[in-house]
Protein backbone atom coordinates (compact mmCIF):
# COMPACT_ATOMS: atom_id res chain seq x y z
CA UNK A 1 0.00 0.00 0.00
CA UNK A 2 1.34 3.38 -1.00
CA UNK A 3 0.71 6.35 1.29
CA UNK A 4 -0.23 9.40 -0.76
CA UNK A 5 0.81 12.90 0.23
CA UNK A 6 -0.47 16.30 -0.90
CA UNK A 7 1.80 16.33 -3.98
CA UNK A 8 0.51 12.91 -5.08
CA UNK A 9 -3.07 14.07 -4.57
CA UNK A 10 -2.42 17.28 -6.51
CA UNK A 11 -0.97 15.24 -9.39
CA UNK A 12 -3.94 12.86 -9.39
CA UNK A 13 -6.39 15.78 -9.33
CA UNK A 14 -4.56 17.45 -12.22
CA UNK A 15 -4.60 14.20 -14.18
CA UNK A 16 -8.31 13.74 -13.51
CA UNK A 17 -9.03 17.27 -14.70
CA UNK A 18 -6.62 17.14 -17.66
CA UNK A 19 -6.07 13.46 -18.55
CA UNK A 20 -4.04 14.23 -21.67
CA UNK A 21 -1.61 16.58 -19.95
CA UNK A 22 2.06 15.71 -20.24
CA UNK A 23 4.68 15.85 -17.53
CA UNK A 24 5.60 19.47 -18.29
CA UNK A 25 1.97 20.60 -18.10
CA UNK A 26 1.41 18.65 -14.88
CA UNK A 27 4.54 20.25 -13.47
CA UNK A 28 3.17 23.69 -14.27
CA UNK A 29 -0.29 22.93 -12.86
CA UNK A 30 1.00 21.41 -9.62
CA UNK A 31 3.97 23.77 -9.25
CA UNK A 32 6.49 20.98 -8.69
CA UNK A 33 9.56 20.07 -10.72
CA UNK A 34 9.12 17.98 -13.85
CA UNK A 35 11.43 15.30 -12.44
CA UNK A 36 9.21 15.14 -9.34
CA UNK A 37 6.14 14.66 -11.54
CA UNK A 38 7.85 11.88 -13.46
CA UNK A 39 9.10 10.05 -10.37
CA UNK A 40 5.76 10.39 -8.54
CA UNK A 41 3.77 9.12 -11.54
CA UNK A 42 6.19 6.22 -11.97
CA UNK A 43 5.94 5.36 -8.24
CA UNK A 44 2.12 5.51 -8.26
CA UNK A 45 1.97 3.43 -11.44
CA UNK A 46 4.34 0.78 -10.06
CA UNK A 47 2.30 0.63 -6.83
CA UNK A 48 -0.93 0.19 -8.81
CA UNK A 49 -2.51 3.45 -7.61
CA UNK A 50 -2.65 4.55 -11.24
CA UNK A 51 -4.13 1.42 -12.75
CA UNK A 52 -3.98 2.38 -16.42
CA UNK A 53 -3.75 5.22 -18.90
CA UNK A 54 -6.87 4.28 -20.83
CA UNK A 55 -9.46 6.91 -21.65
CA UNK A 56 -12.65 6.87 -19.59
CA UNK A 57 -15.40 5.64 -21.87
CA UNK A 58 -19.05 6.60 -21.48
CA UNK A 59 -21.10 3.61 -22.65
CA UNK A 60 -24.35 5.63 -22.66
CA UNK A 61 -22.82 8.23 -24.99
CA UNK A 62 -21.69 5.34 -27.22
CA UNK A 63 -25.31 4.20 -27.60
CA UNK A 64 -25.60 1.70 -24.73
CA UNK A 65 -28.07 3.71 -22.67
CA UNK A 66 -29.88 0.81 -20.98
CA UNK A 67 -27.86 -0.21 -17.93
CA UNK A 68 -28.60 -2.52 -15.04
CA UNK A 69 -26.98 -4.15 -12.05
CA UNK A 70 -27.46 -7.89 -11.80
CA UNK A 71 -26.92 -9.97 -8.68
CA UNK A 72 -26.22 -13.66 -9.05
CA UNK A 73 -26.57 -16.53 -6.65
CA UNK A 74 -24.28 -19.28 -7.94
CA UNK A 75 -23.63 -22.94 -7.21
CA UNK A 76 -21.00 -23.73 -4.59
CA UNK A 77 -17.50 -23.80 -6.07
CA UNK A 78 -18.61 -22.51 -9.48
CA UNK A 79 -16.87 -19.15 -9.45
CA UNK A 80 -14.40 -20.02 -12.24
CA UNK A 81 -17.18 -21.28 -14.51
CA UNK A 82 -19.36 -18.23 -13.88
CA UNK A 83 -16.37 -15.98 -14.52
CA UNK A 84 -15.77 -17.64 -17.91
CA UNK A 85 -19.47 -17.43 -18.80
CA UNK A 86 -19.69 -13.73 -17.87
CA UNK A 87 -16.48 -12.84 -19.72
CA UNK A 88 -18.03 -14.31 -22.88
CA UNK A 89 -20.91 -11.80 -22.72
CA UNK A 90 -19.75 -8.42 -24.06
CA UNK A 91 -22.65 -6.59 -22.39
CA UNK A 92 -21.22 -7.48 -18.95
CA UNK A 93 -19.04 -4.47 -18.18
CA UNK A 94 -17.80 -5.57 -14.77
CA UNK A 95 -18.45 -8.23 -12.15
CA UNK A 96 -17.51 -8.49 -8.48
CA UNK A 97 -17.56 -11.36 -5.99
CA UNK A 98 -19.60 -10.18 -2.99
CA UNK A 99 -20.73 -11.15 0.48
CA UNK A 100 -24.34 -11.41 1.59
CA UNK A 101 -27.33 -13.01 -0.09
CA UNK A 102 -25.77 -13.01 -3.53
CA UNK A 103 -22.38 -14.14 -4.73
CA UNK A 104 -21.70 -11.89 -7.72
CA UNK A 105 -22.67 -8.33 -8.67
CA UNK A 106 -22.51 -7.40 -12.36
CA UNK A 107 -23.05 -4.20 -14.30
CA UNK A 108 -24.43 -4.62 -17.80
CA UNK A 109 -25.17 -2.19 -20.63
CA UNK A 110 -27.24 -2.63 -23.78
CA UNK A 111 -28.72 -0.52 -26.58
CA UNK A 112 -32.34 -1.47 -25.82
CA UNK A 113 -34.66 -3.18 -23.38
CA UNK A 114 -35.05 -6.24 -25.65
CA UNK A 115 -31.25 -6.54 -25.76
CA UNK A 116 -31.16 -6.24 -21.96
CA UNK A 117 -33.69 -9.05 -21.71
CA UNK A 118 -31.62 -11.22 -24.06
CA UNK A 119 -28.49 -10.46 -21.99
CA UNK A 120 -30.25 -11.41 -18.76
CA UNK A 121 -31.44 -14.66 -20.34
CA UNK A 122 -27.90 -15.40 -21.51
CA UNK A 123 -26.53 -14.79 -18.00
CA UNK A 124 -29.18 -17.12 -16.56
CA UNK A 125 -28.20 -19.81 -19.07
CA UNK A 126 -24.95 -20.34 -17.20
CA UNK A 127 -25.37 -23.73 -15.54
CA UNK A 128 -23.84 -22.31 -12.36
CA UNK A 129 -26.34 -19.46 -11.92
CA UNK A 130 -29.01 -20.52 -9.44
CA UNK A 131 -30.87 -17.21 -9.30
CA UNK A 132 -30.45 -13.69 -10.63
CA UNK A 133 -32.02 -10.36 -9.84
CA UNK A 134 -31.67 -7.21 -11.91
CA UNK A 135 -32.11 -3.55 -11.10
CA UNK A 136 -32.33 -0.94 -13.89
CA UNK A 137 -30.24 2.21 -13.75
CA UNK A 138 -32.45 5.26 -14.30
CA UNK A 139 -29.76 7.94 -14.05
CA UNK A 140 -26.31 8.51 -12.59
CA UNK A 141 -26.48 10.30 -9.27
CA UNK A 142 -22.74 10.22 -8.48
CA UNK A 143 -20.39 9.12 -11.25
CA UNK A 144 -17.42 6.87 -10.41
CA UNK A 145 -14.94 8.83 -8.34
CA UNK A 146 -11.87 8.21 -6.21
CA UNK A 147 -10.25 11.58 -5.50
CA UNK A 148 -12.65 12.63 -2.69
CA UNK A 149 -11.84 9.38 -0.85
CA UNK A 150 -8.10 9.80 -1.27
CA UNK A 151 -8.26 13.44 -0.21
CA UNK A 152 -10.25 12.55 2.92
CA UNK A 153 -7.60 10.16 4.24
CA UNK A 154 -5.25 11.24 7.00
CA UNK A 155 -2.01 12.56 5.51
CA UNK A 156 0.94 10.22 6.03
CA UNK A 157 3.74 11.31 8.32
CA UNK A 158 6.45 13.36 6.70
CA UNK A 159 9.08 11.35 4.83
CA UNK A 160 11.80 13.54 6.24
CA UNK A 161 13.47 12.42 9.42
CA UNK A 162 13.13 14.83 12.33
CA UNK A 163 15.98 17.26 12.77
CA UNK A 164 18.67 16.18 15.17
CA UNK A 165 18.37 17.98 18.50
CA UNK A 166 20.78 18.19 21.41
Average pLDDT score over residue span 94-121? 97
Asked whether residue 160 carries a pLDDT value surpassing 60, the answer given is no
Same domain, 41 and 72: no
Asked whether residue 115 carries a pLDDT value surpassing 70, the answer given is yes
Instruction: List residues bridging with 132 in a β-sheet.
Output: 72
DSSP state of 88: T
Task: List, for residues 10-66, the tens digit of each pLDDT value.
Answer: 999 999 999 999 999 999 999 999 999 999 999 999 999 999 888 888 999 999 999
Same domain, 73 and 121: yes
The pLDDT of residue 73 is 97
Q: Of the given ranges (44-53, 81-90, 116-125), which has the lowest mean pLDDT?
A: 44-53
Same domain, 71 and 131: yes
11 falls within a domain? yes
Mean pLDDT of the chain: 92
E strands, the chain, in order: 66-74, 92-97, 104-110, 129-136
Host domain of residue 43: 6-54
The pLDDT of residue 165 is 47
DSSP state of 123: H
Indicate which CATH number applies to the domain containing 34: 1.10.10.10
Neighbours of 77 (CB within 10 A): 8
Amino acid sequence: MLALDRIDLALLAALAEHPRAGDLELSRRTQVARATVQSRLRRMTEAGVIADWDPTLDVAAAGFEVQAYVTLEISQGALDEVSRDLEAIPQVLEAYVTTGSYDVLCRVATRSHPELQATLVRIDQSSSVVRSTSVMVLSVLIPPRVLPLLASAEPPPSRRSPAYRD
